Amino acid sequence: MHVRKPTIGLAAVLTVTFSLMSGQAVAAPSATAPSEVADSAVAARVFTYDASGSAEFKSAVDRGAAIWNESVDAVELRPAATGQRANIRVLADNGWPRALPTTLGNGTVYIGRQAVDQGYNTIRISAHELGHILGLPDRKPGPCSSLMSGSTAGIACTNPYPDTVEKAEVEDNFSSALTRTGGAVRSGVVIVD
């Protein structure tokens, strides 16, 4: 595939523009290596998360974020630095797990103790709720192999990994983010489970 330099320049400008609008820095394509730009996807969008309010679930939140980082290339979840405003806030409470996405890659996750007390796996809960922030809906009922099947897979299910369809959907959400508006997330809607 032949990529012209003006196309690369436009892609770099759009990447920088949209990253500045979202408040996060994103690596722009290299102007010195057009063949690398043509052969690779747009650099991963980096989103930070603040798990300081997740209490006893902090390690599960960190593992859930690491699972997404292992599973997809288009997005990377990093812990926020001290004093940095995070894209994703993770809190523990006594209710049922839920997510409140605001825009694609941004929002609040609640790791609810109610599900944990009933026997649901904390890492699966964390990865599932982060999946909502990454634009995935619940897929109920569903098998244990589907992360987004949530609680319908039962308490015996401890699989915290997205399946191939879920991975592809997140990749598409973020690789397409530069060409569409609004993203896949329903802003301001609480997603329970």
For residue 126, give the nearest of 185, 56, 186 by alpha carbon: 56
Q: Return the residue matching tokens 């043509």.
A: 38
Give me 15's structure tokens: 């990447």
Cα–Cα distance between 157 and 153 in angstroms, integer? 6
Integer Cα distance of 193 and 190 in angstroms? 10
Which member of 129, 166, 169, 171 is catalytic? Answer: 129
| Residue bearing tokens 């329903």 | 186
**Active site annotation includes 129:** yes
Cα 99–chain centre separation: 12
Helix (H) or strand (E) holding 128: helix 122-133
Nearest alpha-carbon partner for 68 in 129, 149, 127? 127
Residues β-bridged to residue 76: 46
Burial class of 6 by CB neighbour count within 10 A (0 to 12, 13 to 18, 19+): exposed
- Residue 142 CA to residue 128 CA, distance in Å, equals 13
Q: Which residues are catalytic?
A: 129
